[in-house]
Chains A and B, each alone.
Chain A
Amino acid sequence: MELGWAAILLRIALRLWPVWLALALSFGAARAFRHRLGFLGRLLDSRTGMTGLALVLFWTFAALLAPLIVTHDPLAQLSGMRNAVPGTPLPDPQGGGYPHYLLGGDALARDVFSRMIAGARAVLAIAPAAALVAYMTGISLGLPAGYYRGRIDAGLTFAANLVIAFPGILLFFLLVTPEIRQTPIPRAMSAILFAIPLAFAAQLIRTRHVANRTRRRALLALTLALGVWAWSGLVLDADPLGLWRMPPNLLNIFIAVVFVSAPVVFRITRGLTLDLASRDYVAAARTRGETPAYIMLWEILPNARGPLIVDFCLRIGYITILLGALGFFGLGVSPESPDWGSTINQGRRLLTAYPHAALAPALALMSLVLGLNLLADGLREESLRD
């Protein structure tokens, strides 16, 4: 029996119960401990921020709990379900599986609902991590550019503007291809990009502990050990435990996305640093003979955190959009990948006749990005009130 829209929505809502539970738990906890959360606690007062946070958490939990939510294997093609409209019952509901395609079937007779949930997983596995690495890179270059100014700044700014001036799509077509994976370029870039967070952490520790040498040595050794382990796994694919690894096509996407995002982060960090470096507390740090590295990391960076956190949320959103665009052009993703961009791309061929296959991932992507934007807006409002 084909389901009506009310029944479909009800069944989807029921199917998402683990998400609702997780949302309820986290908001309950946030409310209970709001006074200890400081700046995040005050976010609870902002309607914009709360809406954003709810949307973001919804998709985060959906991605985390996807195995509990999907109704069918996102790759399984069931006969007779090609382009099935939402709510179509399975022709052959045996084996105790879910009896309907809640949001219909796509052109290859796969379940759109399950692919949408699985797509959240594909997107959220990359976007925040890529944003983080882009941030580390952008900050590591932006701080010295803004602090030293002069020639370092001129060089780095020129390079950043070069990447920003480059039309992103063109860059993706050049950087994310099966051909480029045969060259050493992606691996070399990843070697550099993944080394930056490591160097960053090491500098943080080195500059902070000046008087207590034993502690400094212990912390440095620990960080380097952990960092080299992750680095060897991600870059050389040589992690003996197999915990850190990334398939070559994913690594390629990751590097490309970081490469186009980092210059923007660089520009923001540089601007903030230029402003903050003229403050008296920076001069005070200099007059007690602090090293530039300490001043950048411990005097300037903590005061730039407000705008950087806000932009971090936006950046995850942009990266989600970029990943979608990559999928939309079929770049770097395997054909059966459930990520939203490629699903939209596959769905658009039959868009005028069967819009549902493209609509579901489109709305999913939009709501996630909207959530991140609203969250950023809420954070900005709250941080401005101080």
Chain B
Amino acid sequence: MALAALALTVIVFALTNLQPNLEKLARTQASTRMSDAEVASWLARNGYDRPMLIRYSEWLGVVPAWRGEDGTGGRCNTDPAPRFCGVLQGNWGWSTRFQGEVSAILGDRLAATGRLMFWVMLVMIPAALTLGILAGMREGSRIDRALSTVAITTTATPEYVSGVLLIALLASTQAGLSPLLTDLGLIDRPTLFLGNARSAATEPTFWNLALPVATIALAGMGYIARMTRASMAEVMAQPYIRTARLKGLPFRDIVLRHALRNALIAPFTVIMLQFPWLLNGVVITEVLFSYPGFGWTLVEAAGNNDIDLLLACSVVAVVLVLATQLISDLGYVWLNPRIRVR
């Protein structure tokens, strides 16, 4: 796992430090109308012209940090600066886009995203599991067909589509429900929900947070629900369910006592492996609703080739993904006694 994280940072570092990207960085940082010679000298002045491997090692903190000729610049421009100051020493570097310490910026943004995700999980997981279990309980029934159609539609709707639809439907002054409700005098605001969630980062309310939460939850829900349904349907066809039925157990007991635990083994892994996908959704949704969280920061950092911030973002993302994989493995063992270590 550490190896994977390391490999990924190497890749990100290499890609962000390609010559054209550095030239772009120079132009955005200094002046957009620099000549090629000026760009080269700017890069040299800031230490970007040295071999990539050395600079990566500095970032990691296994090689002493570089200092500019005048003693300023480089990773550690505080005085007196430690010799090693990379990620291993807890120094995540300086954001060229936001002009601040990466760790401070990212901390805030992660907290904002954490709040958003808390509500997403709270809505999405129970809804998806209930949907899946109800549908898979009696395969082929009318309830199954209806719920499956809902699930398949939400999976087919990416966040940037569902977000747009939700805004048009619920947060537009021109279209959807809001004008109607205003006319009827049912709401005192111009729109039912707010289509911009910038304010939600500081003071989240139902009004400004509902749409981003719904957007992410809807997109993730369909997939989990379909997995749960497939798993539930498969379990309900197992011989041990027939055993339970022919023992004379009522249907409710069969579902709750015999089917549920077995049926949740597969979707549990799916929910956990959903995280990389949810992360994409978070990025799109945060951009769409201008919610200043982790995803929004990532896009800003990438758009401006903010190397340190981008590296930190990718480390966070990768650690998140790998951690969920670990949790999913552990949870799988806990749910499935067959592979429990004896």
Interface positions of A from 143 to 172, Cβ below 8 Å from B: 158, 161-162, 164-170
- Residues A329 and B276 in contact, CB atoms below 8 Å apart: no
On chain B, the residues within 8 Å of A175 by CB distance are 15
A369 in contact with B20 given A167-B283, A170-B317 (CB within 8 Å): no
On chain B, the residues within 8 Å of A170 by CB distance are 12, 298, 302, 310, 313-314, 317
Contact pick for B21, options A168, A179, A351, CB 8 Å: A179
Cα of A162 to Cα of B2 in the assembled complex, Å:
12
Interface positions of A from 27 to 62, Cβ below 8 Å from B: none
Interface-centre pick from B158, B174, B283 (highest chain A CB count, 10 A): B158
Residue of A nearest to B169 (CB): A355
Contact pick for A328, options B24, B195, B284, CB 8 Å: B284
On chain B, the residues within 8 Å of A166 by CB distance are 8, 11, 276, 314, 317-318
Residue of A nearest to B219 (CB): A321
CB distance from B297 to the nearest CB of A (A): 11
Number of interface residues of A (CB under 8 A): 48
Q: How large is the interface on B (under 10, 10 to 19, 20 to 34, 35 or more residues)?
A: 35 or more
Contact stretch, chosen from A92-100, A201-209, A271-279, A359-367:
A359-367
On chain A, the residues within 8 Å of B24 by CB distance are 179
A173 in contact with B280 given A355-B175, A365-B158 (CB within 8 Å): no
On chain B, the residues within 8 Å of A325 by CB distance are 158, 160, 280, 284
**B214: interface (CB < 8 Å):** no
Interface positions of A from 67 to 109, Cβ below 8 Å from B: none
Interface positions of A from 274 to 328, Cβ below 8 Å from B: 317, 321, 324-325, 328
- Residues B8 and A165 in contact, CB atoms below 8 Å apart: yes
A183 in contact with B299 given A165-B8, A369-B156, A369-B158 (CB within 8 Å): no
Contact pick for B156, options A180, A348, A359, A373, CB 8 Å: A373
On chain A, the residues within 8 Å of B298 by CB distance are 167, 169-170, 173
Total number of A-B contacts with CB less than 8 angstroms?
A: 145
Residue of B nearest to A55 (CB): B156
CB distance from B10 to the nearest CB of A (A): 10
Residue of B nearest to A341 (CB): B160
Cα of A356 to Cα of B167 in the assembled complex, Å:
12
Q: Mark interface residues in A321-353 (1 if CB within 8 Å of B CB, else 0).
A: 100110011000000000001001101100111
Please give 8 more A-B residue pairs, beta carbons under 8 A apart, in addition to A353-B172, A362-B161.
A167-B298, A167-B314, A169-B283, A169-B298, A170-B12, A183-B19, A363-B161, A373-B155
